[in-house]
Amino acid sequence: MQHLVAPSMLSSDFTNLQSEIEMVNESRADWFHLDVMDGMFVPNITFGMPVIKKMKKHAQKPFDVHLMINEPDRYLKDFVEAGADILTVQYEACTHLHRTIQKIHELGIKAGVALNPHTPVSVLENIVHDLDMVLIMSVNPGFGGQDFIENTFNKIRRFKEMTTKLVQSPMIEVDGGVTLDNAAQLVEAGVDVVVAGSTVFKSDNPSATIGQLKDAGQTKKV
């Protein structure tokens, strides 16, 4: 399966949000990536259910919603009703992770778990078979435009080793510092979903940049 590209709307122009959504609709992007921050789990505040619900009216592709918030269980149903197609929670924010993943599935959508840069993939050993996706953060969460943490490649390799015996492995998503210079290497390492914010929305031609990310790591026949 060819990897997916999910532009991170955190880096989009919020004063021209409908136009940005339409650009993603018309591009080769596969998903919208939406970072929800509460100012407590991470030192930043972004958008919540009302904004996501409004965005959903214009979007034509799935919503990949990453909850960087404390006590995510309190809001799972609200985010699903707002339009989330995939809900990813932070491992570090979930006291009863298995129950949280079960609840997301009961709400009828896919469930993912995100790991901060300092968190080893081994913590997912006893729940990996229940996950649809694992999001490996390649920057410290909270703000866009940070530099990629090179140890991410080691975490990708370790996670793939951990899931070799599974009948169906969770998708691997990477978010943070993804650029046109490292996207191919990430895809070749086994990443299924590439999230890019500043690289897309701060480029001269965001749609073309999405296309380049989509083609990253693909061997072209001569």
Q: How many CB atoms lie within 10 A of CB 24?
A: 27
| Better-scored residue on pLDDT, 152 or 142 | 152
209-217: average pLDDT = 96
Q: How confident is the model at residue 217 (pLDDT cuts 50, 70, 90)?
A: confident
Structure tokens, 20: 């940005």
Secondary structure (3-state) at 180: coil
pLDDT tens, position by position, 105-142: 999 999 999 999 999 999 999 999 999 999 999 999 87
The mean pLDDT of the chain is 95
pLDDT tens, position by position, 139-149: 998 777 788 99
Half-sphere exposure of 89 (CA within 13 A, CB side): 28
pLDDT tens, position by position, 154-186: 999 999 999 988 878 999 999 999 999 999 999
pLDDT tens, position by position, 30-42: 999 999 999 999 9
Alpha helices in the chain (DSSP H): 17-26, 49-56, 76-82, 97-106, 152-162, 183-189, 198-201, 206-215
**CB of 29 within 8 A of CB of 5?**
yes
User: Which of 184, 149, 147, 189 shows the shortest CA–CA distance to 172?
Assistant: 189
Active site residues: 35, 175
**CB of 206 within 8 A of CB of 200?**
yes
Percent of all residues in the chain with a pLDDT value above 70, rounded to a whole number: 98
pLDDT at 222 exceeding the cut of 60:
no
Say which DSSP state 38 is in: B
Residue 53's pLDDT is what?
A: 98
**Regarding the domain delimited by 4-215, which CATH topology (the fold level of the hierarchy) does it fall under?**
TIM Barrel (3.20.20)
Residue 93 is inside which H or E element, if any?
none
Place of tokens 């309190």: 74
35-55: average pLDDT = 96
Q: How many CB atoms lie within 10 A of CB 151?
A: 11
Vertex 96: Cα angle to 137 and 10 (nearest 5)? 30
Rounded alpha-carbon distances, angstroms, from residue 210 to 97, 181, 202: 33, 13, 12
Structure tokens, 24: 């993603």
The pTM of this model reads 0.95
